[in-house]
Amino acid sequence: MQITENHLRVINIIFGLSIDHASRTLSKTLKTGAKIEMVRASVIDISKITEQMNENPREVSGAFVSLEGDVPLKLLFLIPLQGVFRLTDLFMRKPLGTTTEFNEFTESVVQEVGNILASSISNVMVSDFGVKTSLSSPTVRNDFAGTIFSMFVMEEAMITDDLLLIETRFEVSKTELECCLFLLPRISSLEATIGKIEVCK
């Protein structure tokens, strides 16, 4: 499928609203100001983005969630291990600096934030656009950024050279928390997805 400017316009609206909702939910969860901004939705070459991610030498934690149904997409919440400690303190309402090691609880915080973000996006898809979605339980992996990202795009890379990637930026407690959320809608199903949404107008 050829993604046109018009497709990107619709995609920007759908995912912009979804990410706004996820942002409000994250604020409520952390009981502090949290903002997730959509940076861009773009069609990119898989090999280029994977190469860029491989240049990042840091270890990260990633929560993977799959949404199935009318709008099949994959979600990756990615955060450097140092950021996981900060996120855990915020989540547990402890003073920043309390958490200093990676363990079952820190991993569980990444898992739950992935779940909250994915559920929030799914809720908007269902309520505002009338599409059906179902979620998988999040799985968490810790590895180098490039390795995690390769796992994320692997399935799509077997079918196509291009990805439709939606990138976001996080700001928590007025501090940029270096984490990001990637959404990967299945390009092959986009036509039906957009068609379905246009029927719902």
Partner 1 sequence: MKRVLVVDDACVVRMIIKGVLESNGFQIAGEAKNGREALSKYMELKPDAVTMDIIMPEADGIQGLKDILGFDKHAKVIMVSAIDQRESLMEAIRAGASDYIVKPFEDERIVTALKRVLGES
Residues that bind partner 1 (CB under 8 A): 25, 28-29, 88, 91-92, 104-105, 108-109, 111-112, 115-116, 119-120, 122-123, 126-127, 132, 135-137
Structure tokens at 185: 């809608």
**Distance between CA 150 and CA 147 in Å, rounded?**
5
Looking at the Cβ atoms of 27 and 189, the one nearer to partner 1 is: 27
Q: What are phi and psi of 139, to 5 degrees?
A: -115, 145
CB of 160 to partner 1, least distance (A): 29
DSSP H helical ranges for 31-80: 46-54
SS3 112: helix
Beta strands in the chain (DSSP E): 34-45, 59-69, 73-80, 133-135, 139-144, 162-172, 180-185
CB of 71 to partner 1, least distance (A): 14
In degrees, rounded to 5, the angle at the alpha carbon of residue 135 between the alpha carbons of residues 27 and 132 is 100
Q: What are the Cα distances from residue 72, in Å, to 67, 128, 134, 184, 188?
A: 5, 16, 9, 9, 10
Looking at the Cβ atoms of 124 and 165, the one nearer to partner 1 is: 124
CB of 118 to partner 1, least distance (A): 8
Looking at the Cβ atoms of 137 and 160, the one nearer to partner 1 is: 137
Task: Report residue 57 CA to chain centroid gap.
Answer: 21
**Hey, what amino acid is at 199?**
V
Looking at the Cβ atoms of 87 and 165, the one nearer to partner 1 is: 87
CB of 179 to partner 1, least distance (A): 16
CB of 44 to partner 1, least distance (A): 29
Structure tokens at 106: 């820190």
Looking at the Cβ atoms of 107 and 171, the one nearer to partner 1 is: 107
CB of 3 to partner 1, least distance (A): 28
Looking at the Cβ atoms of 136 and 150, the one nearer to partner 1 is: 136
